[in-house]
A and B are shown apart, each in its own frame.
Chain A
Amino acid sequence: MTDTSTEQPAPEYVQTPAQTVGPFYGFALPYERGPELVPGHHPHAIRLHGTVTDGAGEPVPDAILEIWQADENGVLSREQGALDRDGFTFTGFGRAAVNLAGHYTFTTVKPGPVGDAAPYIVVTVFARGLIHHLFTRAYFPEDAAAHAGDTVLGAVPAERRHTLVAVADGTPGGAASYRFDVHLQGDAETVFLDFDA
């Protein structure tokens, strides 16, 4: 480390503040096959879906969610093409607007574990009324053993941990389905994460 006390201070690059995505993103952010990280007929396709609700328990009809995840082997894709899907390249990124019932659906694969963490999908929530987006994670219910040693789950109060674990809800069309509801407020308020930078 150099002693900077006698030097000019380095220029400061201060974070640009966030603002809400607003209600009128529908003609701009959603794109064709945005929610399909893999096609529905992929042999290992899973469904990740859920409803976004507000503090009155009402569905939020104007939220948009993004997910980002490793592939089945725990590898983070460096492939381009998340916006212009060719149906074969796994890019790890997806975007889904909710419908009027506040419901979203992604088609993807279950990620393999990365490092020491239990498998999880990064979920980002944007909506009118959310002045700053929210980060959370969707874990998988069958990995309870790995959850016990997961650093991030360990940082979450035990009684709120369940909000980060999706619920297995059947195999529609043969694909494993996981329900991950996002409660912005309420008794089951989802745990949202802030990252130490």
Chain B
Amino acid sequence: MTDETAPAPAVHPLAGQAPTQASQAEISDEIRAIEAEARARVADGGKPELHPRRNYPPYRSSILRHPTHALVRVDPEEVERVSPAFGHTDVNPLESDLTIQHNAEPLGERITVSGRVLDGEGRPVRHQLVEIWQANAGGRYVHKRDQHPAPLDPNFTGVGRVITGDNGEYSFTTIKPGPYPWRNHLNAWRPAHVHFSLFGTAFTQRLVTQMYFPGDPLFALDPIYQSITDPAARARLVGSYEHELSVPEWSLGYRWDIVLTGPKSTWMESEEAHD
């Protein structure tokens, strides 16, 4: 059955394998045009967009993969208002240190990334799972499909996990990842980033995102970062360098707090009272 009233799937003319890749200048023009349109919409009274656009053509892979129908808005039911229970039987405390997983120290700039996971009311998201993964200092992932000819580091895998503490706090010790090239367009480079996966107290709070480092010159050029059209919203993905978190002669400290909003149900209030 085809639905005659449904809009035809929006297939971007640049979808699929373009015979020639766009230049950075063309991608940057597309990015600027979308941002100007978003800014005009906000100036007309529209709300700034908190999340990335699902359909963001400068990021070519989104063209054939974003839903073309509007999402169906519903109230979460009991299953979605709860989240899996993770704990210290799942995650070894040593997994928060990505620099001790091999026989020797990895190459690169040793850093800590710490912060708190909070809900939309500012309450800590306690005892939940945070997973990270990243490229090494040379910008290479331990992944078969990453063909970037930067060296693998035998002392760095780039995977960490932690369970948040009583105040929603987490901390990872790792090395600063390098930027890496990708094939979205010609001469495309991702800003250095750490992938984060988070669970809240409700499954609707599930979040996969990326943390960036302050002052990266690649921000303006990157269609994944720029898919969040509101400058204040995308700035929420940038960790801050905090000198008091640096450890003398050991590591540089970054802070990044994460907010997971979800349904504000009284059920969650009563659940919290059990703690």
Measuring CB to CB, which residues of chain A are less than 8 angstroms from any residue of chain B?
10-11, 13-29, 54-56, 58, 60, 62, 66, 68-70, 76-84, 91-93, 114-115, 117, 120, 122, 124, 126-135, 151-152, 155-156, 159-160, 184-187, 189-197
Complex CA–CA separation, A25 to B65 (angstroms): 18
Q: Which residues of A contact B144 (CB under 8 A)?
A: 26
Q: Are the CB atoms of A28 and B64 closer together than 8 Å?
A: no
Q: Is B242 an interface residue (CB 8 A)?
A: no
B71 and A196 contacting across the interface, CB-CB below 8 Å:
no
Contact of B260 among A15, A78, A135 (CB under 8 A): A15
The residue from B82, B206, B233, B237 contacting A124, defined by CB atoms under 8 A apart: B206
- A70 to chain B minimum Cβ distance, whole angstroms, is 6
Interface: B263 (CB within 8 A): yes
Q: Establish whether residues B263 and A195, one from each chain, have CB atoms under 8 Å apart when the complex forms.
A: yes
B18 CB, nearest partner CB in chain A, Å:
13
Q: How far is the CA of A186 from the CA of B158 in the complex (A)?
A: 36
> Are B195 and A28 closer than 8 Å at their CB atoms?
yes
What number of residue pairs across chains A and B have CB atoms under 8 A from each other?
256
Say how far A161's CB is from chain B's closest CB, in angstroms: 10
Q: How many residues of B contact A (CB 8 A)?
A: 88
B62 touches A129 (CB 8 A): yes
Q: Is B121 a contact partner of A122 (Cβ separation < 8 A)?
A: no
Picked from B122, B197, B262, the residue with its CB within 8 Å of the CB of A11 is B122
| Minimum CB–CB distance for B196 against chain A, Å | 9
Q: Note all chain A residues with C-beta closer than 8 A to B141.
A: 24, 27
B204 neighbours in A (Cβ, 8 Å): 135, 195, 197
Q: Is the CB of A129 within 8 A of B59?
A: yes
Cα A65 to Cα B158 in complex, Å, equals 21
Which residue of chain A has its CB nearest to the CB of B263? A197
A82/B77 contact (C-beta < 8 A), A27-B158, A131-B62 known:
no
